[in-house]
Chain A
């Protein structure tokens, strides 16, 4: 099975950057690709409990959708979500502050995933 690893660095201050890596990952999962998203730098702020429901992914006509919709689609298709401790520390977050379905990894595990994946795609 092919595999892709997405790296998501966008956070709550850039809603327009929040959903794209997630729905691309969803599409990859639908193509029978093994997919993970590694949320780092500002990425973990998107996964704080309560944020996905209130953060609106903007659309030109004002009819944006909450980020939760994109996250639910991805998790439903089997996309794995990862965070690392240093990027949680950056924002004063603990693992328990995050939504369900997020796995904690470290830098070594991330690098190993990157080496194992067919491609790494960074946002």
Chain B
């Protein structure tokens, strides 16, 4: 999972600049990964391909295991995910701090309260 996200905003944020291309390096996934100005995250939760209610169930279970203030990046393709994650965040008190949709992949940055 680490390697998969090298070249995305998290690593740009950590290192101040995109990592150079090199052997074994996946390279920029700008069109597939989060946008450059996205907030940093601590964990990635892949819910792509899962249908309602599984992205929310997976998110709820995962957030319970996280330390307060940590940020999880949830990726989902269920078409109802934007209203669903907003409703979940509102009701559980874990703030949704950022959201992006690129093509059909919705990304949510959720901070554990």
Residues of A within 8 A of B57 (CB): 26-27, 30, 73, 77
Which secondary structure dominates where chain A touches chain B? helix
Residue A32, interface by CB 8 Å? yes
Instruction: Please encode chain B, from 52 to 67, with 1 for each CB lying within 8 Å of some chain A CB and 0 for all others.
Output: 1110110111000000
Pair A31/B87 contact, Cβ less than 8 Å: yes
Residue A14, interface by CB 8 Å? no
Pair A31/B92 contact, Cβ less than 8 Å: yes
Residues of B within 8 A of A2 (CB): 91
Contact residues of B between 89 and 108, Cβ < 8 Å to A: 91-92
Contact residues of B between 32 and 70, Cβ < 8 Å to A: 52-54, 56-57, 59-61
Residues of B within 8 A of A30 (CB): 53, 56-57, 59-61, 88
Cβ-closest 6 pairs across A and B: A30-B60, A27-B53, A31-B91, A30-B57, A30-B56, A32-B92
Offer 29 A-B interface pairs, CB within 8 angstroms, sorted by A. A2-B91, A23-B52, A23-B53, A24-B53, A27-B52, A27-B53, A27-B57, A27-B84, A29-B60, A30-B56, A30-B57, A30-B59, A30-B60, A30-B61, A30-B88, A31-B56, A31-B60, A31-B87, A31-B88, A31-B91, A31-B92, A32-B60, A32-B91, A32-B92, A33-B91, A73-B54, A73-B57, A77-B57, A77-B60
Give chain B's interface residues, CB within 8 Å of chain A: 52-54, 56-57, 59-61, 84, 87-88, 91-92
Give chain A's interface residues, CB within 8 Å of chain B: 2, 23-24, 26-27, 29-33, 73, 77
